[in-house]
Amino acid sequence: MSQLLIVICYGSKIKLVYFPLRGRAELIRLFLAAAETEFEEDVIEFQDWPDRKADMMFESLPMLTWDGEEVGQSLTIARFVAKKVGLAGHNDLEQARADAIVEHTMDLYE
């Protein structure tokens, strides 16, 4: 499995933008770490947020850049990363279970 993941992510430039805390970006970090995928983190300090907010999709965080393409919204990013790194399931049932994990993390926030 690791070899497959390396092939999928090899050469991809990945940047995750978020605040200096775990929060809504943590599931994304966990997916990338589980797949042993290297990524850059752009940590926005709270005092810098007003100056950077307008540059972010939907003026919110987290935001992911994957090979120059931007993706916003934490659950959308989590599902996108899971697919890219081979963690989203290989059939309908596995995909449903992966989606349930993503959705469950949102229950924890609420």
pTM for this model (two decimals)? 0.83
The arrangement of secondary structure in 2-109, i.e. its CATH architecture, is 3-Layer(aba) Sandwich (3.40)
Domain ranges of the chain: 2-109
Burial 21-48 (b: 16+ CB within 10 A, else e): eeebbebbbebbeebebebeeeebeeee
Spatial separation of the C-alpha atoms in residues 67 and 74, rounded to whole Å: 18
- For 57-102, how does the pLDDT look when each residue is reduced to its tens digit (9 = 90+)? 999 999 999 999 999 999 999 999 999 999 998 999 999 998 888 8
